[in-house]
Amino acid sequence: MAGRRHDAGGHPSEYHCAFDAEQRLVQYVYAIGTYHYNWHPAIEVSVLLTGEVEFCADGATRRLRPGDLCLVNSNVGHATLAIQPDSTMVLLHVEPSFLSAALGSGRIGPWDVDLASRETTARLRLLLARMMLTGVDSVEARAAYLRDLFDLVATLSTSCRMSEGTGETPLGDAPNEALSRTIDHVERHFRDRVTLAQLGQAAGYNPTYLSQLFSSRLGMSPSAYLTRVRLREATRDLGDPGRRVADVAVANGFPDVKAFNLAFRRTFGKSPTEYRKLLTVETAAVDPYFRKRFVPRHDAVVSSVLEGFAATADPAPRPDEDLRDELASMEQAARNLASRLASTTARWS
C-alpha cells in the first residue's frame, strides 16, 4: 500500500528465499546502488556484509560498515547509497501480519537497534546470517528458519523495544479502500498541484476524516505522503546528469527548486547537488538490477562473511524465567508449523 514493494525476484542460485507465496517473509543478499527511497508496512532488519553504505531512515543519516546492523519499522521512509563499490547487505523483510498470525500478537514493535548492547547486536547478526544460509528448501530447514526468526523477534522485543507511544504506527497491513483510492490518485497526479480537497474527493471522504485516516493507518499526513512520492521519483531523476536540479524539482511536482531542496535536505540530510556528487559510475551500474538480481550463492566473499557471522559464539546471556517461557512457546509454534508443512507435503506427494 505505502511505497513500492521489493521485486519478487529470486533464483535457486542466488541468496534469496521467500517463506510463502504472498512474500510476507523474504530474505536476500543484494548489491547497494543509489537512493531508492521507499516505505512499506513490513519490518526490515539488515546487516552490511561488504563495502560502505550511507543509510538514511526517517530523516537521520549514518554510515554503515561491515557488521553494522540497521532496522526499519513499519512505514518509515528509508534509502541506502553505496559509498564504496561492491557494497552488499543481507536483509530480512517480514510483514507484521505474518508475525501476528504466528505469535498471536496484535502489535509488533516498534524497535530501535541503537538500544542494543554489543552482545545483542552480535546475536542478531548471527541469527540473520544463519537464517540466510539455512534457507527454506525443506521442511527441516523451514522449521529451523522459523526457530531463528522467533529467536530474533524475542531478542528485539527484549532488548530493543522503544518506549510506549514512541514512533508507533498501527501495523495492520490489510488494505483500506479509501486509502487505496487516495494513494492511486497521488501516484497518478503527484507531478501536478494536488490539494487535500482533491484527495478527499478521490477517497470519497471529507478532508478532515481523510487526514485522520492517514495518520492512524500510515502514521503520516496525506501531504507528507505526497512529498514522499515526489522525493522517490526525484531521487531517481537526479541520477541523470543531463537534467538540472531545478528541472527535476518542477517535473516531480515541487513548486520550485527551493521547496525541493528543503524537502530533500530534511529527508536525506543533504542537498540534491551534494547527493549528486556522491554518485559514481559503479553505483549507477547497480540500479537497473536493483532487487531484481541478488548476490549469487557462489560469491566467495559474501559466503565467507555470512559463515563467519553464523559461526560466532552465541553471546546471548541466559534468558530469565519469562523470556525462557516465551522462547519455549515460540519453539512450539515452529514445531507446529513444521508439522503442518510436513502434512501438506505428504498430501501433495
Tens of pLDDT, residue by residue over 97-155, are 888 888 776 667 788 888 888 899 999 999 999 999 999 999 999 999 999 999 999 99
For residue 281, give the 3-state DSSP assignment: helix
Per-residue pLDDT tens for 256-302?
999 999 999 999 999 999 999 999 988 888 888 777 789 999 999 99
| Angle (deg, nearest 10), helices 196-203 and 177-189 | 130
Q: How confident is the model at residue 7 (pLDDT cuts 50, 70, 90)?
A: low
More confident residue, 107 or 78: 78
Which grid cell sits at 156? 528485539
Strand partners, 63: 54
Lowest-pLDDT range, 30-39, 44-53, 313-322?
313-322
Widest Cα–Cα separation across the chain: 63
Strand partners, 245: none
Lowest-pLDDT range, 40-44, 238-242, 250-254, 327-331?
327-331
- Beta strands across the sheet bearing 60-64: 60-64, 53-57, 78-82
| pLDDT, mean over the chain | 85
Mean pLDDT of 168-193: 77
Lowest-pLDDT range, 10-14, 276-280, 317-321?
317-321
Element (H, E) at 330: helix 321-348
pLDDT of residue 332: 61
For residue 186, give every residue at least 6 positions away whose Cβ sits within 8 Å of its Cβ, in sequence order, or none. Answer: 194, 199, 222, 225, 226, 229
CA atoms of 342 and 339, how far apart (whole Å)? 5
Report how far apart, in Å, the C-alpha atoms of 143 and of each of 84, 227, 335, 336 are: 37, 42, 6, 9
CA atoms of 131 and 148, how far apart (whole Å)? 7
Strand partners, 82: 53
Q: How many residues does the chain have?
A: 349
Q: How confident is the model at residue 348 (pLDDT cuts 50, 70, 90)?
A: low
| Angle (deg, nearest 10), helices 139-159 and 321-348 | 150
Task: Evaluate the omega torsion of the peptide bond into residue 110 and state whether it is cis, within 30 degrees of 0.
Answer: yes
pLDDT of residue 342: 58
